Each structure stands twice: as structure tokens, then as C-alpha cells.
A = this chain, B = another copy of it.
């Protein structure tokens, strides 16, 4: 199976209770591909400016990440400036500079158009729809992330693309805004009517709720002593989740549960450092150690 992500590659200025960093490599496609590529090769579609140089390229090198769909344009890359308070669950956006992202029209290289697993990162739903239309064959699984900006500002286009989506990954606030419901079971019923058969609700430090027609799964976040920077946790989760599905070529409930735990553990490494530092430094030993620890944290022995 081939796995394709369309999203952003960005520079972030980050302020959290743990400190401050400027011009940190970020963006949904960066976190997603760094996480997913530990499990399965990834193809990336995104746009960057002239500020994306050798230092940034090196982050993706030596990994199963195909950057032939990464377009370089004159100008600066997308910049985001965000701040987190003691409650690390919500970021305050201080500044957004779209730059080259402003007229990004993802164009899929021919080699990408038969990907069987497609992740539509959080971008304009019109662009997400356009990507789906460029596929030569309908991917086996299409997953989508979005945010309140599009839910409230571009609902018709979002509803259009959702009809073509199998797996929706959103946080709790977004799930509520999209459906008008507060209760997760009711939210899932509404989401199914909109298209996706699988719903993943990301709940920050409280973990993830997975809803599928075969059954549901409730997973905690991996407990950490220090969270340095929550940026990218959701995209890292999505990368681990989709990478696991692509690697196993399966979406039965057991696989989806394991994919949830894989995404959860990868996200725990992301939030321990600023930007993609945690994912870059991650060893297989550390990954498998923490996966085992998470299994233990939720495991109840059969009687």
C-alpha cells in the first residue's frame, strides 16, 4: 500500500510554559510524515518557500519520505505563531502568515495518483476535494483532519469532501462544532451520516476515542512528567495511526486499536520537545518501550 499526505510544511514561533522557540520546522505534513515513515513509506504533497533549505531537508532525509511532491515557490514558507498557557490543551494563535501557502494548489505527481491510503491534512476543504479528484483510483482509505476555521467558514465544501472520507480525525471541540452535539456517541452517529465510517476524537491529555461500526475504543494519552510543546501532537498521532494502517493493510477493529496506541505513543514523543525534535531523536527502542508501557497501563488480565 502507498501512503500519501497532503498538508503544510511550515515554520512555527512557539511559546509554551517550558520556553520559547522561533522558526521551528512544523506543519501538518512534517509531523505526519516523520511519524508515519517509521511504519511505512510516505509520499508528501506540500509547498515551501525559499526559507526551506538544506537544514530543513535533512530532517526528512534518510527516512522513507518521498518529497517529490514538495513544491518550492518564491517567497517565504507558511509561518504560524502560537502560544500555550498552563492548560496545554488549546493554543492561542498570535499570528498566521500564509505566504507561499496563500495560493497553494496541490498538484499530485503521477507516481502519487494511485496511493491506496490518503491523508488530507488540515487545509482548505476545497483543496482537499481537489486532491481527491486528482487520484487516478479511489484510495482504499481516505482520512481527513480539519479545524473550526473551516467548520465554521467553509462548511459546504467541508461537507462535500467529508462524503468521500472514510476516517475523520478531529479534536473534541471540532467534533462538537461540526455536529452540534456534545455527546460523543451522538457525535459519532451524526458523523456517520456525513460520510466517514470511522471517527477518531483527539482529547489531548485525556487521550483518544475511536468509534467504528465494529465497536469503540477508548485510549488514554501516555502519561508524561513534562509536556514541552503540544504543537503537532494531532498530526503526529494521525501519522502513526495511518502509517500503522498502511503497514498492516487492514482496518479491522483490532488493527484500528493498535493504530490508535501507535499514534498515541508517537505523539507522546512529539510533545516532549519543541517542534519535530522528539520525532527526530526517537529510537526504535524508545518507541517500543513506551508502546509496551502503554499496553500495561490499559491492560486488565483475563480472569
Contact = CB atoms under 8 A, between A and B. Distances in A.
Interface in A125-168: none
Nearest to A221: B218
Contact of A185 (B207, B216, B223, B258): B223
B223 A216 contact: yes
A44 interface: no
A286 interface: no
B297 A216 contact: yes
Contacts of A219: 298
A218 B220 contact: yes
Contacts of A299: 300
B300 A225 contact: no
Interface in A202-256: 203, 206-207, 209, 215-220, 223-226, 254
Given A206-B206, A225-B186, A226-B183, A218 B297 contact: yes
A86 B225 CA distance: 31
Interface centre among A86, A216, A218, A219 (most CB of B within 10 A): A218
B223 A182 contact: no
B254 A300 contact: yes
Decide if the interface of chain A is mainly helix, strand, loop or mixed.
Answer: mixed
Number of copies of this chain that the complex holds: 2
A86 B182 contact: yes
A197 interface: no
A222 B225 CA distance: 26
Interface size class of A (residues with CB under 8 A): 20 to 34
A180 to B, nearest CB: 12
Given A296-B215, A297-B217, A183 B257 contact: no
A258 B225 contact: no
Nearest to A185: B225
B224 A185 contact: yes
A254 B301 CA distance: 7
A66 to B, nearest CB: 30
Contacts of A203: 206
Given A258-B300, A298-B298, 13 more contacts: A86-B182, A185-B224, A186-B225, A203-B206, A206-B206, A207-B220, A209-B220, A215-B296, A216-B297, A217-B298, A218-B297, A295-B300, A299-B300
